[in-house]
Amino acid sequence: MTMKEFGVTSGGNLRCRGWRQEGLLRLLENVLSVGEDPANLVVYAALGKAARDWRSHDAIVSALTTMHDDETLIVQSGKPIGVVKTHERAPIVIMANCNIVGQWAKADEFYRLEQDGLICWGGLTAGDWQYIGSQGVIQGTYEIFRRIAEQHFNGDLTGRLILTSGLGGMGGAQPLAGRLAGAIILCVEVDEARIRRRIENGYLQHQAADLDEALRLADQARAAGEASSIGLCGNAADIFPELLRRGVTPDIVTDQTSAHDLIYGYIPRGLSIDEARAMRQSDPGGLSKLSLTSIAQHVQAMLDFRAKGSIVFDNGNLIRTQAQTAGVTNAFDIPIFTEAYLRPLFARGIGPFRWIALSNDKNDLIRIDDYLLKTFSDNPSVMNWITLARQHVPVEGMPARIAWLGHGDRTKVALAVNRMVREGVLSGPVAFTRDHLDAGAMAHPNIMTENMKDGSDAIADWPLLNAMLACSSQADLVAIHSGGGGYAGYMTSAGVTTIADGSSEADERLRLTLTNDTSLGVMRYADAGYPESFNEIQKSNIPYINLR
Ligand code: NAD
């Protein structure tokens, strides 16, 4: 099978000199196999790419298949630059994607550099080959809905209506997360093909022909006391105001269109997808203005729902920032999900940890699930999630699992899995990684670090330290990313992957990488003054130097 067929490789045959290189190669194949537009190397989030162009991609594959364990491949914005001699404890791959000097880090400059073939945006997990399909954000979205249920609905979302939009790579997790949380979720998506894709891959149940049918399906589910997910083809900037006009007030409202990108992401109301695509070439400035106007209407509707009592939150797509630019001065009345629901978890180093079975054998995933269910029987949140996930989350690409684990627990799982690889309990090695949206790994003042207790929202030292620490801790791949498209100038983050190949060297790599990664996360939040972090520091002996 050739790479451009976007398949994944199974079994134990190595095309590289070792599993560290082979594992990373399989992860690169995997992000394309589950990507939104793999022919153009686009994985998710409108423009998040796995490599700069196909020549770069092929050269990366060639480097991975020939390099030795004591060599390191350098990747600059999706293009391989060289393979240098390092040592066997150094990363196999280091990358820096889309980092533009401060005063130049603007969307227009990004597009110019992108079009000149000088840069590409790696998203968070596209450029460093850590994306696992819609599952990557499903537990985060589920946890948000559960927190909202606890805070506002006596812990029960039965019969409650969630309204959202965007069924792309990440947004596609919303219908399943909403349903698992027990709600009825209506997802507005402008591209019918994306609705079909989410139905085909098991993330969405129904497609409604029009808004009337969508509301009828929601009423039927409510009457039956059943959770349900409904897709509706339409533009959110049309449908949200229309629901207001009809007097429908959803219980929860959010959005996950690619609103961060006014040219390649968001589709303005009044334009078909083809018209928007044509305007990207003929009049990008005009398209950008239309998107802003449309986002202003979209966010105004979200604010109006809020005024009527809906619980409204921003799900991490910069939509409030765009709306504010377009003149919606109170867009930031809508809270960001991190601050509103997840920060106490991040403060303890708990975040979107994940693993991928490199054998492509689903049984390996099941065996690791079994291990978790046995080992974490006193942890209701892990038990609940793994039980739900193994039953309901479909396998997309290579078998992978997301699980929000924290300091110590991540290391424990990885070492146990490495032992299972060594003892032949699993049929092949396993890659351990996490989302960049993790405690010490991201500075993003309008998403991850909004309203930090000490005002340190925009300090990017933390993700940079995080990446350097991962290199010092012998991770196999380390990446530093900054924002592209509309995210240019808004964020910096770090990614890390380590392969459990069963060796004793992997024991050390996993122990150091994962322990130090979450240690830094807890220290970052302690330094900002979060009490949960101090508890974790005491409990786990994290060597924080407290100069506060
Ligand atoms: P994507 O580009 O794959 O999908 C976006 C979807 O929105 C597309 O299907 C598109 O057709 C649809 N869309 C665009 N304009 C629309 C409109 N006006 N009305 C209805 N549908 C419209 O992007 P993605 O990977 O799903 O990510 C979506 C957003 O979420 C991005 O901004 C991304 O950065 C952000 N994100 C947040 C998190 C998080 O942790 N909260 C994680 C990943 C991504």
**Does the beta carbon of 206 sit less than 6 angstroms from any atom of ligand 1?**
no
Classify residue 157: in a domain, yes or no. yes
For the segment 267-287, the average pLDDT, to the nearest whole number, is 97
In a domain, 49, yes or no: no
CA dihedral 259, 262, 268, 271 (to 10 degrees): -140
Residue 314 within any structural domain of the chain: yes
Answer whether residue 3 shows pLDDT above 50: no
What mean pLDDT comes out for the span 259-278? 97
C-alpha to C-alpha distance for 352 and 203, rounded to whole angstroms: 19
In terms of Cβ atoms closer than 10 Å to its own Cβ (0-12, 13-18, 19+), residue 474 is buried
Give domain status of residue 251, yes or no: yes
Ligand 1 atom at minimal distance to the Cα of residue 170: 26
* Ligand 1 atom nearest to CA at 294: 18
Q: Which atom of ligand 1 is nearest to the CA of 167?
A: 9
If you measure from the C-alpha of residue 167 to the centroid of ligand 1, how many angstroms do you get, rounded to a whole number? Answer: 7
Select the more confidently predicted residue: 3 or 97. Answer: 97
Please report, for the domain that includes residue 242, its CATH number.
3.40.50.10730
Determine, yes or no, domain membership for 197: yes
28 lies in some domain: no
Q: What confidence tens digit (pLDDT) does each residue in 39-50 have?
A: 999 999 999 999
- Domain residues for the domain of 219 are 135-340
Q: What is the per-residue pLDDT across 332-382, written as a single tens digit (0 to 9) for each?
A: 999 999 999 999 999 999 999 999 999 999 999 999 999 999 999 999 999
317 lines ligand 1 (CB under 6 A): yes
Looking at ligand 1, which residue's alpha carbon is closest to its atom 29? 258
Q: How many CB atoms lie within 10 A of CB 98?
A: 30
Q: Does residue 44 line the site of ligand 1, with CB under 6 A?
A: yes
Tell me how far the alpha carbon of residue 480 lies from the centroid of ligand 1, in angstroms: 22
Say if ligand 1 is within 6 A of residue 297 CB.
no
Residue 4 has pLDDT above 90, yes or no: no
- Reply yes or no on whether the pLDDT at 52 is more than 70: yes
Q: Does residue 246 have a pLDDT over 50?
A: yes
- pLDDT per residue over 278-323, tens digit each? 999 999 999 999 999 999 999 999 999 999 999 999 999 999 999 9
Could you tell which of 256, 319, 346 is best to mutate to test the pocket of ligand 1, judged by most ligand atoms within 8 Å of the CB? 256
pLDDT digits 0-9 by tens, 391-422: 999 999 999 999 999 999 999 999 999 999 99
Give the pLDDT confidence of 450-461 residue by residue, as tens digits. 999 999 999 999
> Whole-angstrom Cα distance, residue 6 to residue 309?
45
Angle among Cα 218, 220, 226 to the nearest 5 degrees reads 80
CA 531 to ligand 1 center in whole angstroms: 34
Distance 190 CA to ligand 1 centre (A): 11
Q: How far apart are CA 194 and CA 291, in angstroms?
A: 20
Return the ligand 1 atom nearest residue 257 CA. 7
Atom of ligand 1 nearest to the CA of 260: 32
Which tokens hold the place of 175? 């219908």
In a domain, 140, yes or no: yes
The rounded distance, in Å, linking the Cα atoms of 387 and 393 is 10
Asked whether 450 lines ligand 1 (CB < 6 A), one says: no
Provide the domain count of the chain. Answer: 1
What average pLDDT is seen over the chain? 97
Q: Could you give the residue ranges of the DSSP H alpha helices within 209-318? A: 211-224, 236-245, 273-282, 284-307
Bridge partners (DSSP) of residue 204 are none
Q: Under DSSP, is residue 75 helix (H, G, I), strand (E, B) or coil?
A: strand
The pLDDT tens digits of the residues spanning 184-214 come to: 999 999 999 999 999 999 999 999 999 999 9
φ/ψ of 382, rounded to 5, equals -65, -45
CA angle 136, 140, 142 (to 5 degrees): 110
CB atoms within 10 A of CB 141: 26
> Going edge to edge, which strands form the sheet with 206-208?
206-208, 228-233, 184-189, 161-165, 252-253, 311-312
**What 3 state SS string does 318-373 have?**
CHHHHHHHCCCCCHHHCCEHHHHHHHHHHHCCCEEEEEEECCCCHHHHHHHHHHHH
pLDDT at 5: 73
CB distance 251 to 160 below 8 Å: yes
How far is the centre of ligand 1, averaged over its atoms, from the C-alpha of 113 (Å)? 23
Q: Is the CB of 135 under 6 A from ligand 1?
A: no
Give the residue from 439, 413, 436, 437 showing the smallest Cα distance to 500: 413
Separation of CA 10 from chain center:
25
Q: Give the pLDDT of residue 76.
A: 98
pLDDT at residue 60 is higher than 90 = yes
Say whether pLDDT at 2 is over 50: no
Q: How far apart are CA 52 and CA 61, in angstroms?
A: 13
